[in-house]
């Protein structure tokens, strides 16, 4: 009887020890940086302010206000920046020690993903109109709600599969991808070719290629034309010079 109680006690101790270990194992990303007003919503909890070193778990939501940013790093070393006025959900992310798989829902706004050379072909980024396949790359995504998604590829390649009848496409470094709707074919263009990709860059940060408005030409201001003043009249060479001494 005594040995049975000892065994039960031992099992209880092991279970209690395993609880924090399981909670730690559930983390899929860590907050690296928060600029101004950034928020996180753990599953089943209320929204709270995001802070540096916060651990993020599956199905956790992230949101930023204007002139704000949240930068996170996943367990495999890849990174994602949630730029200003943006919303997303970390639906799932698994790293088995050699490669990552998962799904990240980008609901609205501007995002910057960098795989940092990791094997992340199993990672998918889903927007309201398309699913983006990662191929060892760095890119920006502008999600205009349920309307348009634009991807600017800074290195590597990405695939873009519209959710409806639109055709998938693969584009490469130095190109932009336009998905105008779930039933529209995804198309490639030169980096920054699609004007709707222009979106505010992070506050107090240099704008990234394809965003920040550097692809937009500033409005030209027309200056009023004024009548030029008459030049001084040329002296008549036949007139003698005026000399106050005479």
Domains of the chain: 29-197 (2.60.120.1440)
- The total number of residues shown for the chain amounts to 246
Mean pLDDT, rounded, for 7-16: 47
Mean pLDDT, rounded, for 200-213: 39
pLDDT, one tens digit per residue, over 18-76 is 444 333 436 899 999 999 999 999 999 999 999 999 999 999 999 999 999 999 999 98
User: What global pTM score does this model have?
Assistant: 0.71
For the cut 70, the answer to whether the pLDDT of residue 202 exceeds it is: no
**Where is pLDDT greater, at 98 or 134?**
134
Residue-level pLDDT at 33? 97
Residue-level pLDDT at 135? 84
Of 116-125, 155-164, 170-179, minimum mean pLDDT range: 116-125
Reported as a pLDDT band with limits 50, 70 and 90, residue 143 is very high
pLDDT, one tens digit per residue, over 78-126 is 999 999 999 999 998 888 877 888 899 999 999 999 988 777 778 999 9
Mean per-residue pLDDT over the chain, rounded = 78
Residue-wise over 157-190: b if at least 16 C-beta within 10 A, else e?
A: bbbbbbeeebeebebeeebbbbbbbbebebbbee
Reported as a pLDDT band with limits 50, 70 and 90, residue 236 is low
Mean pLDDT, rounded, for 160-180: 96
Q: Which of 71, 66, 74, 76 is nearest to 40 (CA)?
A: 71
């Amino acid at each position: 009887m005594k040995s049975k109680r000892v065994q039960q006690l031992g099992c209880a101790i092991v279970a209690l020890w395993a609880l924090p270990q399981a909670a730690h194992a559930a983390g899929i990303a860590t907050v690296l940086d928060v600029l101004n007003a950034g928020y996180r919503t753990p599953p089943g909890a209320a929204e709270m302010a995001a802070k540096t070193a916060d651990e993020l778990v599956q199905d956790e939501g992230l949101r930023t206000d204007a002139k704000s940013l949240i930068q996170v790093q996943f367990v495999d070393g890849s990174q994602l920046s949630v730029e200003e006025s943006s919303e997303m959900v970390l639906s799932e992310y698994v790293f088995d020690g050699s490669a990552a798989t998962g799904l990240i829902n980008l609901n609205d706004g501007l995002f910057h993903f960098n795989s940092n050379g990791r094997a992340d072909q199993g990672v998918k980024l889903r927007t309201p109109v398309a699913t983006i396949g990662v191929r060892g790359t760095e890119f920006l995504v502008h999600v205009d709600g349920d309307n348009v998604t634009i991807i600017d590829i800074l290195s590597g390649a990405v695939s873009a599969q519209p959710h409806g009848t639109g055709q998938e496409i693969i584009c490469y470094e130095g190109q932009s991808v336009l998905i105008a709707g779930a039933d529209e074919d995804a198309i490639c263009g030169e980096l920054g070719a699609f004007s709707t990709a222009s979106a505010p860059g992070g506050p107090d940060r240099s704008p990234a290629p394809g965003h920040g408005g550097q692809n937009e030409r500033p409005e030209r201001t027309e200056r009023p034309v004024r009548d030029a003043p008459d030049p001084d009249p040329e002296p008549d060479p036949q007139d003698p010079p005026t000399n106050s001494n005479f």
